Structure 1
Amino acid sequence: MCHLGYKIKISGLVQGVGFRPLVYELALKSKLFGEVRNDGFGVEIILSCTQKECENFIENLKNNLPPLARIDKLIITQISIPNYENFSITPSLKNAKSTPMLSDFALCKECKKEFFDEKNPRFLYPFITCTHCGPRFSIIKSLPYDRTHTSMQELLMCEFCKSEYEDPKNRRFHAQPISCPKCKINVFLKNPKGEILAKDQEAFMQSAKFLKEGKILAIKGMGGFHLMCDAFNEEALKALRLRKNRPKKPFALMCKDLQSAKELAFIDEKEEALLGGVLAPIVILKAKKAFSLIAPDVDKIGIMLAYTPLHLLLFEYFKGSLVATSANLSGESIIKDEFNLCQKLSEVFDFYLDYDREIMNASDDSIAQVVNGKTMFLRTSRGLNPFYLERNF
Structure 2
Amino acid sequence: MQAVILAAGKCTRFWPLNEKHKSLFRIMGRPLISFCLENLKRAGLKEVIIVQGKKRDIENELKKEKISGLKIRYVIQEKPLGTGHALKTAYSYLKEKILVLNGDDYYGAQEFKKVLSFFPSILVKEEKDPTSFGVIVPQKNYVKEIAEKSKKPPSNLVNAGCYFIPKSILKEKIKKSSRREYEITDYLRKLAKKEKLAFFKAKEWSPLSYCWNLFDIKEILIKSLKREIKGIVESNCQIKGRVFVEQGTIIKSSSHIEGPVYIGKNCQIGPNCCIKPGSVIGDNCRVGQAVEIKNTILGANNKVSHLSYLGDSIVEEGANLGAGTIIANLRFDKEKIKTVVNGKIVETKRKKFGSVFGKGVQTGINVSIMPGVLIGREAVIGPHTLVKENIKEGTAFYSHFAGFKKEKKRI
The question of a shared fold, defined as TM-score above 0.5 by the shorter chain, is answered with no
The structure that is strand-richer by fraction is 2
Q: With structure 1 as the length reference, what TM-score do the two structures score? A: 0.28
Structure with bigger RCO (C-alpha 8 Å, 6+ apart): 1
